[in-house]
Amino acid sequence: MGVVMFYHLTTSSLEETARTLLARSQKAGWRVMLRGVDVSRLRALDRFLWQGADDDFFPHGMEGSPHDAAQPILLGQGQIANGAQALMTIEGASIDPVEAASLERVFVLFDGQDEAAVAAARVQWKAVTGAGLAAQYWSEASGRWEKKAG
């Protein structure tokens, strides 16, 4: 059983934070499911991940192709279909504590400027900790990421 890590975004963009965490996941040798609730937002992330230097390349695909199972990073709204060891959620996408317990890592990225997003993250925190999963809360309020709880 891994750790559910909550990232309270106040300075960094979702895209840059996702890029950093995806790079760490790749270094660890993990496949990642990036789960969102809005297809247009996932498509924007898809385009973003294709940009950047060659050494900053993230092989990935959008859910729904015949190659979902082969994708190192799969962007979508559904269940893990690529054998991922890590799950990244954005915009309050669902986390099932049973699913989370089987993963090495869950990254929950939420917009600290959006009260609804903060409230949703609190509900998710209570659900995962209530299920006995290890959780960490990370804040960048000081200007750099710091673990504040967990």
Mention every residue, 6+ apart, whose C-beta is less than 8 A from residue 88. Answer: 18, 21, 22, 32, 33, 34, 35, 106, 107, 108, 109
Q: What is the pTM of this model?
A: 0.93
Query: Average pLDDT, stretch 11-20?
Result: 92
pLDDT of residue 101: 93
Tell me: pLDDT of 150 over 70.
yes
pLDDT tens per residue across span 49-73: 888 666 677 889 899 989 999 999 9
Q: What percent of the chain has pLDDT over 90?
A: 79
pLDDT of residue 28: 95
19: helix, strand or coil: helix
What are the structural domains of the chain?
3-149 (3.40.50.10110)
pLDDT of residue 54: 63
pLDDT of residue 34: 97
pLDDT of residue 32: 97
Tell me: pLDDT of 149 over 90.
no
* pLDDT, the chain, mean: 92
Query: Average pLDDT, stretch 27-35?
Result: 96
Distance CA 128, CA 9 (A): 20
